[in-house]
Amino acid sequence: MALLDVANLTAAYGQAQVLFGVSLTLGPGEVAALMGRNGAGKSSTLKAVMGLLAPLGGSVVFEGRPVTGWEPYRIARAGLGYVPEERRIFTDLTVFENLEVGRKGATDAGIADGRPPWTPERLFAVFPNLAEMRGRRASAMSGGEQQMLTIARTLMGNPHAVLLDEPSEGLSPLIVEQMAEAVLRMKREGIAVLLSEQNLTFAAAVCDRAYVIEKGTIRFEGTMAALEADEAVREAYLTV
């Protein structure tokens, strides 16, 4: 059974509809990409799944529970993590305090498969540069360091799956490499990841499967290898 099952999701900003029936699934421990151009509906899909954009119709089922229309905090507590596109680090807070916000007092979902829960110390082992600046204000961090902090912050909630919005956007090649490493690390920890992406190279490096979205509708669904092989789809929906 799929961990996350999205069916016919529709959503709008005010009068402007952006999602026209998006359907996709994410299996346990799987890394899937939601690819598409700017404005195709990638971020809106993730936001609608997370409850940050109220869905008009369709359904979101997570671990067998329908979570459509739930408030974001309940969806987060159900075990679905979210890493936003613009990082949205709490710049007034220290690195340590940012992690504290991500910690959940009481998670409904529990920890997956008896793995140890995430603690700041465990995260500092995964992201060594964060360890050196735990008392530093987040506003004094570089963009790449902030991006690592957003992921660490979300992991503090011990999610079973993570929605990762445009992880490679605006980062230097070196940081993109670290980001890819972080995604693969989550996979090794048994966390499923649905990431939105424009960068095919990055997606191909970390993802098993891919969806292609255009004008709020899924146009392609298949393995990453199939997408790489399908020049027509890439030409039609991805090439800028």
Partner 1 sequence: MDLSFLVLQSLSGFASASSLFVIASGLTLVFGVTRIVNFAHGSFYMLGAYLAVTIVPRLLDLSYSPWTFFLGVLLAALLVGLIGVAVEMLLLRRIYRVPELFQLLATFGVVLIVEDVVLKIWGPVDIAGPRAPSLRHGVEILGQRFPAYELVLIGVGPLVLALLWLVMHRTRFGVLIRAATQDREMVGALGVNQARLFTLTLFLGASLAGLGGALQIPRIPANSHMDLSIITDAFVVTVVGGMGSVPGAFLAALLIGQLQAFGILILPKVTLVLVFALMAVVLVVKPWGLLGRPDSGSGRVVLPEGILTLRRFRPPEAALALLAVAALLAVPLLGDPYTTKVATEILIFALAAFSLQFLVGVGGLVSFGHAAYFGLGAYAAGLLVTGPLKAPMELALLAAPLVAGAGAALFGFFIVRLSGIYLAMLTLAFAQIVYAIGFQWVEVTGGDNGVVGVWPSAWASGRTVYFYLVAALTLSGIVLLRRVIYAPFGYTLRAARDSATRAGAIGLDVRTHRWLGFTLAGAAAGLAGGLYAFQKGSIDPTLAAIPLSIDFLVMVLVGGIQTVMGPLLGAAFFHTLKDVVMPLTEFWRLLLGLAIIATVLVFPRGLAGAADTLRGRARAPATAAASA
Contacts to partner 1 by CB under 8 A: 12-15, 17, 50, 52-54, 56, 69, 71-73, 76-77, 82, 84, 86, 88, 90-93, 97-98, 100-105, 107, 153-154, 157
Give the separation between CA 79 and CA 16, rounded to whole angstroms. 30
User: Can you give the C-alpha Rg of the chain in angstroms?
Assistant: 17
- Per DSSP bridges, beta strands 192-197 and 161-165 are parallel
CB nearer partner 1, residue 29 or residue 102: 102
User: What's the min distance (Å) between Cβ of 68 and partner 1?
Assistant: 11
User: What's the min distance (Å) between Cβ of 123 and partner 1?
Assistant: 14
CB nearer partner 1, residue 65 or residue 88: 88
Phi, psi of 165, rounded to the nearest 5 degrees: -95, 115
Query: One-letter amino acid identity for 22?
Result: V
User: What's the min distance (Å) between Cβ of 220 and partner 1?
Assistant: 27
Residues whose CB falls within 8 Å of the CB of residue 132, separated by 6 or more in sequence, listed in order: none
CB nearer partner 1, residue 32 or residue 53: 53
User: What's the min distance (Å) between Cβ of 100 and partner 1?
Assistant: 5
Query: One-letter amino acid identity for 167?
Result: P
User: What's the min distance (Å) between Cβ of 72 and partner 1?
Assistant: 5
User: What's the min distance (Å) between Cβ of 210 and partner 1?
Assistant: 25
Q: Where are the beta strands (DSSP E) in the chain?
A: 4-13, 16-26, 31-35, 55-62, 65-66, 80-83, 161-165, 192-197, 209-214, 217-223
Give yes or no for a contact between 130 and 145, defined as CB atoms under 8 angstroms apart. yes
Phi, psi of 213, rounded to the nearest 5 degrees: -115, 140
Give the three-state DSSP class for 57: strand
